[in-house]
Every structure is written in structure tokens, then in C-alpha cells.
Structure 1
Amino acid sequence: MNTTHFERMKNGNGFIAALDQSGGSTPKALADYGVPEDAYANEDEMFDRVHEMRTRIMTAPAFDSDKILGTILFEQTMDREIEGKYTADYLSDNGIVPFLKVDKGLAEKENGVQLMKPIHDLDETLKRANERNIFGTKMRSVIHEPNPEAIKEVVDQQFDVAKRILEYDLIPIIEPEVDIHSTDKEKSEEILKDEILKHLNELSEDQNVMLKLSIPTRANAFKELIDHPRVVRVVALSGGYSREEANEKLKENEGLIASFSRALIADLNANQTDEEFNKSMNLAVDKIYDASVNKK
């Protein structure tokens, strides 16, 4: 494990940029960026266009290690290059810690939750992640209702996969998202926290994880998780909130930092001049950084 990356993730100031839109969500991400579906003829061209988008983001002056701690990548992005280097190496050389999304998407909603689909090629992916100098991974489930048995199943699945990831000397980001529009979000968060704590308390001293959670309804509800000795960092997803709303909620939570995707890139557009693009990037980075480090 890269000890410099570990120390940076544990104690550094800043936030994580989530640039891990997968194949299924790529057309919408490109459309939001100003690249309609008729701008590419097939899947290969689509992934070329999204890599162009991500390259423009990661090479922008504002995408700097002074404020960005890490970046979550899609698998194809890991295997592509930026300025002649594999993406993770480009990020590392610029002081930014690279993570890889490893889940294969969500199963259908059942009992108020969506588990992860099976990750049949996990071991192969983790071997390649090591070869590409990835520091950690990320995987997402979704909770819609405060169903204790189903939430337990979500957390059990996440930690089962996390333990396999730890065997490859990678730090897993466990992401059991609570839908911000779910019924009784606060109750779901209480159940979720208790289930996560059970698993954290069973980890050995050499097993460390990160958590990516929805910003809690009750400020500082996840403080016990943030302070747990087996947790490197707890980061928050924007979850459908506007950037402004997500930032305001984030500021209320001591020790919680952002890992935003849509809220980071919402104002970027393929048709912007470099000056316009960089101005929008700089504003977004500054606002999210401020919310991550300056608490109420």
C-alpha cells in the first residue's frame, strides 16, 4: 500500500472527486455535459467522448491536490491515459489519490433496498487495479426504506466484498447510499450506522476501510463512524441535492468531507471556452472544498 496516499486520505484537507459514471449512466452524463447521443456512433466513440470530458476535468488548473484529495475512476478510465500516463499514475504524480469503482451496478429493488449485482470478475479487476497503481476501490448499494433485515443484508454484502478487496492491499470505500427521497431517511440512517459499527468492530487492526454515505438528516449522526479507529475517512455523496444544498448540509457535519460527482461537474459544458470551463471548475472546487473543511 502507498503509505503517502494513506496518510493523505487519513489526515489531508480537501475532498474526493467522483468521476466514475459507468456505461449505463454515461449517455446522460455526456448529454448533461453538452454531448448528445447523435454525437457518437457507437459505444467505443461514446467512451472516447467521456474520456475527453474526464481528461479536460482532470487537467484543468483547478483540479489540484491543494483541494482535491482523491478521484474515483471508472474501469475504462483506469486503462486509458492522460498526457501519456495511465490515469492513476497521472493523478498520483500530481498528488491526487486514485480510486476505482468496482461494482457492476444495482440489483432490482427488493424489501426496500438495492443490493449490488454480483461482481463476477472482482479478483481479475483487483489484480489490474494493483498493476495500475490504484489505492482503493468503491462500490455502491442503495437503501430506500428503513427495513432492518434488508439494511443488514446491504451492509453484510458490502463488508463481504470489502474483505476480499483488503486481501489485495487496497482500501475499500463502502457506499450504502440512503436515497434522499426515501421514506423515513433518518430511521434508515440509524439502522445503517448500527450495522456498520458491528462490522467495524470485528475488523482487525490491519483492516481499514472508508465509508461513503448520504449526508445525514441529523447533523453529526455519523460522528461515531468518523471517529472509529478502523475508518480512514468518511466521505459524503451529494445524492441529488444541488451543490449549494449539499454544501450547506455538509458544513453541519464535523469531520465529513465531500465525494461529489454531479454536484462537482454540473456547470461544465463541452461547448465552453477554456476560460469559461476553468472558471466554472474553479468555482465548484472552491465551494466544495470550503464545505469540506470549514464547519459550522
Structure 2
Amino acid sequence: MPTPSDATPRTWFITGASRGLGRAFVDAALDRGDRVVAAARTVTPDDVDARHGDRLLALPLDVTDRAAVFAAVATAVERFGRLDVVVNNAGTLSMGMIEEYTEAEARAQFEVNVFGALWVSQAVLPHLRAQRSGHIVQVSSIAALAGFPSTGMYSASKFALEGMSEALAMEAAAFDIKVSIVQPGGYWTDLYTSMTTTTPVEAYAPLRAELERQWAAGSVDSEPRLAAEALLQLVDSDDPPLRLLLGSMVYDLAFDISRRRMDTWAGWERVSRAAEQAVAAPAGT
């Protein structure tokens, strides 16, 4: 879906850009004639710059390093003069039962998925506010719809990302900056091959075996280019949604989870309402 011929090319800043969804986003933006800052730990400028001339800037970047993030954004603005679309795509997956996590493993999950996105958002906001435009896209996950066995810490990081992003959307709207949360289902990336795992506790072996049977029977994965095509439609919209589900499986799951939550709330309505009764402020407060 190319940019209309009379449109001014946009400048993208994409993290996690060297592979998977990030690489698909980079390719889609370049194919339509836009300019891209591709930031990733493993990106090599010599490998990619020559193929796209001055429309592509490859920046090695560890998003957990706040100072490095601010420096990378400054370099991007110096090179292209502005930023139009910022995609916080960098993320890691850690799998394990909640009981199994060490402190270091739990913190590491949040360093990239939450704090990395926070640092990038903070770094780009002064530039987007100054130009009073821009679109920040936070790449979340199906795991943000609910917590699931063995992906609890990953879900926790994506829940945190979405809570932060909801607030950011309301704060940034005052400056005509858009924020969208993308919730993808399964795609053929290296997320699962590069994931980390906890040291198993034997008591969870039966649950692990059952999960493996479920995943083998119900896994649905798609080509990353389909996610990239959806992303282009999102950023092209004059009225983009706060959330966008990607994939039929995640779409159906979102509605199923929402209905079950509403049923539970309705079933406990009497208890919920009885827990609130306005009274005058206690003396001395």
C-alpha cells in the first residue's frame, strides 16, 4: 500500500528493527518511499544503508540504556529533521511459572518491554510536541489480554506497557500526538527461538506437558508482512484507534475474555456495590 504520489514522505523511528515484525515494518515503510531510522542491538549500518541510500539510517541501540536512546533520537532528528511515526517494537519473551522467576529474570523482562518503550517515548515526545504532530505505536501482545500459565511475567510487562500507553495517549493528545497500542497474535518471527526460560520446578511438569499439547494443536502463526500491512493502514488513518488487534485468533480471544469478565462482574454486582457507601470525612482529615 504505497504512499500517494503527492504525499510527503514520513520519517519512522522503529526499534527492534533488525528482524521479525520490526524488519517487516522497516521494509514496508521503505517500500512506500518513506524514510526510516532502524534501531536495534544487532543492526549494522554497513549492511543496510547502501540498499536505500539516504532514506535509511541504521542505528545500533540498546533500548534499556536511557542515555543511548536519547542520543539515538537526537541523531535521527538531526539527520531527517523530524519524526512522524515512532514504533516501539523492541521486546523480549521470557517463559516460566511465576514461582520459578529469579529477581534478575523478572526485572530483565520489564527492562526491554516496559522501560525500553518508556525511554523511547520520553525521548521523542519533546520533538513531537514541538512539531505538534506524530504517531507513537506501542507493539504489545496477545499476552496483554490476560495472564496465561508460563507467560505470566511477559503478560505483566505487556499489561504495564498498555497502562502506561493509555495514560500517554491522553497526555499526548493535547499536542495533537496520536498513540496506538497494537496487539498482535502469532507471527513467524524469532521471538520464540530467542526467548529465555526459567529453571523448571518439577511440580509444574504436568501443567507444562498440557500446555505443550494445547500449543501443538492450536498454534496459528502468520507472515510478518501482514502485520506490516495493517500497521500502514493504522498510521494512514486520520482517526486511529487506541487499540488494534492483529489476527482472527486474537480478535476472537479478546471478545471471549471481555465477555467472561463482564459476566463475572455482573455476577458479583451486589457485593461490588455494597462495598461503597459515601460518608462524611472523618474528623481531623
- TM-score interval, normalised by the smaller of the two chains: 0.3 to 0.5
Question: TM-score, normalising length from structure 1?
Answer: 0.37
Question: TM-score, normalising length from structure 2?
Answer: 0.38
